[in-house]
Amino acid sequence: MKGIILHGGHGTRLRPLTHTGPKQLLPIANKPMSEYCVASIRDAGIKEIAIIVGGVGSNKVKEYYGDGKRFGVDISYIEQDEPKGIAHAIRLCKDFVGNDKFLVFLGDNIIQRSVLDYAQGFENSDSSASILLCEVDNPSRFGIADVRDGKILKIMEKPANPPTNLAVTGIYFLTPAIFDIIDRLKPSWRNELEITDALEMLLQENHKITYYMITDYWKDTGTPEDIIHANGTILDRMEPYFYGEKDDSVTIRGDVMVGEGTKIKNNSIISGPVIIGKNCVIDSARIGPNTSVGDDSVLSQCEISDSIVMANCNIDSNISIRNSIIAFNSAIVSNPDNPNKTFLLGEGTKIIL
């Protein structure tokens, strides 16, 4: 079995964070969200992975993952010249797949359990496809499966009146039979080749499609709120470690992960779950809970919770930051008279308040 990760798209709902790179490289718990996909595919025993790239920052994807060796896999890259839909991206992989069954991950999907048993079940089955479903509160945002008595009756893309709340997650087990289907697809109203339409056509042509229910955590990280929620959930499940330095005035509560070279000092309070990267300085600050701080960041005087601060940021301000994402290389410098700010800052942003 082979693996495919879709790493394209414009990420319009996450601007300005995605003006300078793909959303799948945005960090959750200090790792790019697509790295969780790589790990999930690898841990399912799949070593050959194709990453579909296109749009802003494709070179950043290649620079980060390289040939995949440091992640324990063999990665190749396939270019998608413009976003023509998930099914179109999958069709580009026909030569890569050959006659093998394959697993497709949308690069912005976060799942907190192994897919090994799903992969083994599909490998040993006669199904043409198998999909992972998850109950959601807002089904009109997703592709939806109408399931009755353990059988999929219909699959539809973002229906106005969903018959169920069973979302089709961005994780698909497929066979080469899908390529003939995609070749006969017509573009949707979005001018894209929809994977839900391809799966529905498989059903109509009497192909067997099975499904598994995800009862653990799954998140389609399409909005800033989704990313912040996923960040907190992953942090809450991490094993604590402390490789940095702290003075006797520092208070640490709950599970905290601190990287090498990081110094925490001057009455700072860290309330887990929190991850702080390498070579950071935390000075007279209150960090957490549910907060990630990237490498080489300096945080002074501030109070930050339920937020993501990416690498190489400088926040020197007596302000309270909540539910925020602050992108790489950003700086916030302020006076003490403007508390309780919320930010969504693109890469390289500088704010003086």
Query: Is the confidence at residue 251, as pLDDT, over 90?
Result: yes
Q: At 76, which helix (H) or strand (E)?
A: strand 74-79
Assign domain 2-234 to its CATH architecture: Alpha-Beta Complex (3.90)
Identical fold at 2-234 and 240-352?
Answer: no
**Rounded distance, CA 171 to CA 114, Å?**
12
Query: Is the confidence at residue 120, as pLDDT, over 60?
Result: yes
> DSSP letter at 339?
-
Residues 223-249 pLDDT 10s: 888 889 999 999 999 999 999 999 999
> Confidence class of residue 191 from pLDDT cuts 50, 70 and 90?
confident
Query: Is the confidence at residue 11, as pLDDT, over 60?
Result: no
Pick the CATH number of 240-352 from 1.10.580.10, 3.40.50.300, 2.160.10.10, 3.10.300.10: 2.160.10.10
Any idea where the domains of the chain sit in the sequence? 2-234, 240-352
- In sign, the C-alpha dihedral spanning 41, 44, 47, 48 is negative
User: What's residue 342's pLDDT?
Assistant: 62
User: What's residue 9's pLDDT?
Assistant: 58
Q: Are 313 and 330 in contact (CB under 8 A)?
A: yes
**Rounded distance, CA 81 to CA 88, Å?**
11
pTM over 0.75: yes
- DSSP assignment of 102-153, as one string? EEEEETTEEE-S--HHHHHHHHTS--SEEEEEEE-S-GGGSEEEEEETTEEE
CA angle 121, 156, 199 (to 5 degrees): 40
Q: Are 202 and 178 in contact (CB under 8 A)?
A: yes
Question: How many residues in total does the chain contain?
Answer: 353
Residues 71-89 pLDDT 10s: 999 999 999 887 788 999 9
Q: Poorest-confidence range of 132-146, 263-277, 297-311?
A: 132-146
